[in-house]
Structure 1
Amino acid sequence: MAWFTAFVVLIGLERLAELVVSTRHAAWAFSRGGREYGAGHYPVMVVLHTALLAGALLEAWLLDRPFLPALGWSMVALVLLTQALRWWCIRSLGSYWNTRVIVVPGAALVTRGPYRLLPHPNYVAVVVEGAALPLMHTAWLTAVVFTVLNAALLSVRIRVEDVALGRRAASV
């Protein structure tokens, strides 16, 4: 259980690093006339992602969830792959990457890296990680609850991004 706790703490520290990068990128975008879209759902996203980390740990500890090697190690591999995909997205977007939806006027849509293949590759990482992280230690309740709530959140978030980026008519 100690290794799982340490792993989740490391993921939490990675999220803090993302927030540092995001804050820097937001300042850059706003200095170039960037406009934020969908700010109302952002606090919900922060709470949900924090709850994923806390829920995975609490469920594993309080409900004494076992580590099942076949499941656990395959989920570790998936979580590590999601981190690689997430940072590939961040690197591909460069200064345009943010945890918020901020669009710089006149900026071209990024079509390099994983964005050549999918319009929202970071959300693939979020969805897979949201199930895999708790399942590393069989915290299936957290995996299910996060997945359901995250699906609702992403239905809003993706719509906001698509409107902001001009991929869909304003309907948000």
Structure 2
Amino acid sequence: MIWYTVLVLAVGAERLAELAVAKRNTRWSLERGAVEHGRGHYPPMVVLHTGLLLGCLAEVWFGPRPFVAALGWPMLAVAVLAQGLRWWCITTLGPRWNTKVLVVPGLPLVAGGPYRLRWLRHPNYVAVVAEGVALPLVHTAWLTALVFTVLNAWLLTVRIRCENKALTLAGAPA
């Protein structure tokens, strides 16, 4: 359980790094006239993602949930790959990446990196979904995986609609 706790805390530290990048990118975007959309869904998103990490720890420590190698190792690989995809998205979008929906009017859509795949319009959310399933299942925290997945599906529906509308209003094709 100790190594799993370290893993979850490492993911938490990664989230803090994301927030630092997002804060810097927020300044960049606002300096260029960005408009924020979807403020109402942002606090629930923060709570949900914090809950994922806390749920992983609580379910394993108080469950108890065993480590099942046949499930745990593949899920660890998926979680690591999800982090790789997430950071590929972040670096591809550069200063335009954010945890909030901030759109600088007139900027074209990014068409490089994982965004060059027309059939995969929101690759960052693929990473979020994969991690939301995989991270808990590394240590058989199936209840956390289930609850996060259901709530995240609802939240991503709201979020993607918001992003698509914001991009359309800004003049970029959604």
Q: Smaller-chain TM-score range?
A: over 0.9
Tell me, in whole angstroms, the C-alpha distance in 2 between the residues paired with 1:162 and 1:115. Answer: 14
Tell me, in whole angstroms, the C-alpha distance in 1 between the residues paired with 2:93 and 2:165. Answer: 18
**Cα distance per residue 1:74-105 (max 9 Å; x no partner):** 01100000000000000110110000000001
What code does the residue aligned with 1:119 have?
R
**Cα distance per residue 1:53-72 (max 9 Å; x no partner):** 00011001101100000100
Partner of residue 142, structure 2: 140
Partner of residue 82, structure 2: 82
What code does the residue aligned with 2:147 have?
V
Partner of residue 97, structure 2: 97
What code does the residue aligned with 1:145 have?
V
Over aligned residues, Cα RMSD in angstroms?
Answer: 0.8
Unaligned runs of 5+ in 2: 170-174
State how many pairs are aligned. 167
Deviant stretches of 4+, over 6 Å? none
Post-superposition shift, 1:119? Answer: 1.2
Post-superposition shift, 1:122? Answer: 0.3
Counterparts of 1:148-167 in structure 2 under 5 Å? 148-166=150-168
Aligned to 2:33, the other structure's residue is in SS state coil
What code does the residue aligned with 2:54 have?
A
What code does the residue aligned with 1:165 have?
L
**Cα distance per residue 1:111-131 (max 9 Å; x no partner):** 110011121000000001001
Aligned to 1:166, the other structure's residue is in SS state helix
Percentage of matched positions with identical amino acids = 63
What code does the residue aligned with 1:122 have?
N
What code does the residue aligned with 1:97 have?
W
Tell me, in whole angstroms, the C-alpha distance in 2 between the residues paired with 1:166 and 1:106. Answer: 10
What code does the residue aligned with 1:56 have?
C
Unaligned runs of 5+ in 1: 168-172
Tell me, in whole angstroms, the C-alpha distance in 2 between the residues paired with 1:119 and 1:165. Answer: 13
Asked if residue 62 in structure 1 is aligned to residue 92 in structure 2, the reply is no
Tell me, in whole angstroms, the C-alpha distance in 2 between the residues paired with 1:89 and 1:20. Answer: 16
Partner of residue 124, structure 2: 122
Tell me, in whole angstroms, the C-alpha distance in 2 between the residues paired with 1:164 and 1:121. Answer: 18
TM-score (norm. length: structure 1): 0.96
Tell me, in whole angstroms, the C-alpha distance in 2 between the residues paired with 1:125 and 1:56. Answer: 17
Partner of residue 170, structure 1: none
Post-superposition shift, 1:166? Answer: 1.1
